[in-house]
Amino acid sequence: MNGFLNFIVSFATTPALLVGIIAMLGLILQKKPATAVIQGGIKTFAGFLVLTGGAGILVNSLTPFSAMFQHVFNAKGIVPSNEAVVALALVKFGTPAALIMLVGFVVNIILARFTRFKYIFLTGQAMLYVSTMAAVVLASAGLGTSWLTILLGGIFEGTLLTITPALTQRYMRKITGNDGVAMGHTGNMGYALSGYLGEKFGNPDPEKSTEKLNIPKNLGFLRDSTVSISLVMMVVYIILALIAGPKFVEGPSLSNGTNYIVYAITQAGTFAAGFVVVLQGVRMILAEIIPAFQGIASKLVPNSKPALDVPIVFPYAPNAVLIGFFVSFVVGVFSMLAMLGLHTTVIIPGVVGIFFCGGAAGVYGNAFGGVRGAVIGSFVNGLILAWGPLLILPALGSFGAGAASTFADSDYIVSGGILGLTGKAGSTALIALILGFLVLVLVINSVLNARDKAKVK
């Protein structure tokens, strides 16, 4: 049984396999030839591996950045990192987390089939992270690791991962120019807020987009995203390396003897290379998954949309990604300094999470608000990433008190914080909250459907 459960969990948390099989299923439902089915599945599978490989390159190039940053500021505290905190939590909560994830995926499919929220959440690692968070919070609230925790956690996860893509879809349509794909990430609440603030306070003029920045003709080469990203990151890495000093950077934990300036330049170039790989993976996935999803939409879940991982939006506004990252990072640094002054728990900016969530927030803010919208949206999202972890730490109970890391993204912060606060009122209140969340989504679905029917009349 353990071997079979391990196979199911491993399969469901490997996005490349999961999405490749779903693409094949969609093509089969369209009665495509076997050759087309195999081709579509393999290209989708390979596209995801290209995307995750690029993301890995980005993460590896940001690791020395984070090390130099912590050395420069000599700060010790909690680093928000979904990967780190989940790895620690799975040691104790692995089985309930896995079962919650499976129940959650089933709930997501059912809700997508029978409500207007036609989003199939396909980011496997995010599914596992949400289920792990639910297991930790529910267990810490007194429910233990019983079947009730698994059922409630699954309902919570499935409902959350169905409704959060809907929050961002208005902006996804603007960003991508179509309605064929959704955002399947755990920063959706922050992205939706960024898009909203960008729309309200930004500049809607298309000529004010981050991608239309007025660059002098002799600097026109900067319009090439690979060139601009490389140069900007080189400046940042070199400055940080200069402050950190050659003794630290050239140590065995970083460059291991390579000149610190050369090392900084290489890491910046590696970052840009990872970005290019991510963009290629996104293009491969979109070319296959959207046509394949038409089969699933027509047979299993009519009009469904795949909710995919956060890099899916990066090709549409590379300049906005950079703006969002740097604004969020600066907010994180100043917030950390404020926490040191206030003598609170110190949240050290998690560079990896800030890049992906901050970059995406910039893209969403830019969608309707241009450069101003990207700055405003990513600034507020940066505040959430910086201060929000303080809200979720108490919800993690004794586990959170002993961990040097915590959950990072806005959806964990908001939903986990609410679960934790409710759990302090007892298990009955927690059960009522989760079931009430499901009922609320169903009521909203009914109200919106009735509104649409009234409009038709």
Quote the pLDDT of residue 327.
Answer: 92
Per residue in 387-444, pLDDT (tens digit) is 988 888 777 665 554 556 677 889 988 988 888 888 888 888 889 999 999 999 999 9
Tell me which of 150-164, 184-198, 257-271 is least confident: 257-271
Q: Tell me the percentage of the chain whose pLDDT exceeds 90.
A: 26
Quote the pLDDT of residue 77.
Answer: 65
Do the Cβ atoms of 18 and 122 come closer than 8 Å?
Answer: yes
Quote the pLDDT of residue 162.
Answer: 95
The domain locations on the chain are 2-112+120-456
Question: Once rounded to an integer, what is the mean pLDDT over residues 449-453?
Answer: 86
Whether the predicted pLDDT of 246 surpasses 60: yes
Per residue in 129-178, pLDDT (tens digit) is 898 888 888 887 777 767 888 899 999 999 999 999 999 999 999 999 98
| HSE value, Cβ hemisphere, 13 Å, CA-based, for 163 | 18
Per residue in 63-111, pLDDT (tens digit) is 787 788 778 777 666 777 777 677 667 767 777 887 888 788 889 989 9
CA distances from 238 to 46, 242, 343 (A): 34, 6, 31
To the nearest whole number, what is the mean pLDDT of the chain? 83
Question: Once rounded to an integer, what is the mean pLDDT over residues 356-365?
Answer: 93
Burial class (CB in 10 A: 0-12, 13-18, 19+), 280: middle
Do the Cβ atoms of 341 and 312 come closer than 8 Å?
Answer: no
Whether the predicted pLDDT of 50 surpasses 80: yes
Quote the pLDDT of residue 268.
Answer: 85
Whether the predicted pLDDT of 369 surpasses 90: yes
Q: Considering only residues 280 and 262, tell me which one the structure prediction assigns the higher pLDDT.
A: 262
Model confidence band, residue 376 (pLDDT cutoffs 50, 70, 90): very high
Quote the pLDDT of residue 287.
Answer: 74
Quote the pLDDT of residue 215.
Answer: 58
Quote the pLDDT of residue 272.
Answer: 81
Distance CA 196, CA 167 (A): 10
Quote the pLDDT of residue 210.
Answer: 87
| Helix residue ranges per DSSP H, 115-187 | 124-138, 147-176
**At CB < 8 A and 24+ separation, what contacts does 142-150 make?**
142/423, 142/426, 142/427, 143/427, 143/430, 145/93, 145/95, 145/96, 148/431, 149/96, 149/100, 150/96, 150/99, 150/100, 150/103
The model's pTM: 0.79
Question: Once rounded to an integer, what is the mean pLDDT over residues 118-134?
Answer: 85
Quote the pLDDT of residue 133.
Answer: 87
The two tokens of residue 376 are 């405003």
